Amino acid sequence: MQEFRDRVAVVTGAASGIGRALAERFAAAGMKVVLADVEQGALAAAERALASSGARVLAVPTDVSKASDVEALAQRTLEAFGAVHVVCNNAGVSVGGLAWEVTLADWEWILGVNLWGVIHGIRTFVPILLRQGEEGHVVNTASMAGLLSGPGIAPYNVTKHAVVTLSEALHHELAVASGGKVKVSVLCPGWVNTRILDADRNRPASLGAATPVRPELTAVREQVRQLLQSGLAPAAVAEHVFAAVRDGRFYILTHPQWKPAIRTRLEDILEERPPTLRVMA
C-alpha cells in the first residue's frame, strides 16, 4: 500500500502498548484512525491524545472476543469514515502456568481475545475490504511465541501459533480473492516494553481470578517482566509494521537475533527430534 493519507485504519488493543503505537504511526501518516479497546479509561485517554495532535480519530469500546462487538466496530467505522483500508487485529492478553494446571476459565479468556479476536476481525472486515475493490491490508499480531514453543505459557503459545497459521492461509486466499489488492501481514515480535503481564486488569469478572503463579515460577515471571521492560519500544514495532504494510511484506520479525532459534526449531521438525529449548534474552 502506497497511499495512506485520508485512508482509514482500525486498530484493536489500541489503548496501550503496540496498539496505541500503531494508531499513532498511522495517524502520523495522515490516516483516519479507529481505536478499539476494552479498557475504556485508557481508550478515552488515547483518543484525546491523538485528537490533540490533529488526527481524525474515533474510539469504540470493543471486546474482541465477542463477534457482536467487532461487528459494531465495523459499523461505527463505516458510519464515521465510509471505508476501511488497514485492519490491525492486535488485542492480546497473556496467561501463564503449567499446561495441565491452567484453568478452563484461563483458556476461555486467552482463546477469546488472542484467537477469536483475530477470527472475528477477519470475518468482519475482510468482506468489507474485498467489496471496496481497493488496496487494503490486514495485520494480525502474533508473537515469537507463534514461531517458538517455550514452557510455562502453553495457552499463549497455542493462540499465537494459531494466528500465524491463520494468517498464512489468509495470505493464499486473499491472493486469489482480491487479485493481490488486499494483503496480510503477521507480526511476530520478541520482547516489547508493554504491560502484557498485567493483562489481568482487563479480565472479565465472570471468569474469576487467574491461575496463581506457582512460587517456584515467581522468579521466572519477574525475569520476564524485566526483559519486557528493557525490550523494544512499541513505537519501534509500529515502524516495522508500517514499513511492512507499505512494502507488502508478510512476516514481520522485529527481533532478528531470534532467527537462529526459529531455524533450530525448523531443523528439529525436519530431523524428527525433540524440540530444543533456547532461552532468549
Which sequence positions are flagged as catalytic? Answer: 156
- Reported for 194-198, long-range contacts at CB under 8 A and 24+ positions apart, including other chains, are 194/16, 194/17, 194/18, 194/228, 194/231, 194/234, 195/16, 195/17, 196/17, 196/92, 196/93, 196/94, 196/228, 197/94, 197/221, 197/224, 197/225, 197/228
Cell numbers 521492560: residue: 229
Q: Are 183 and 130 in contact (CB under 8 A)?
A: no
Tell which phi-psi region holds residue 233, choosing left (phi > 0), alpha (psi between -120 and 50) or beta: beta
Count other C-beta atoms under 10 Å from residue 100's C-beta: 6
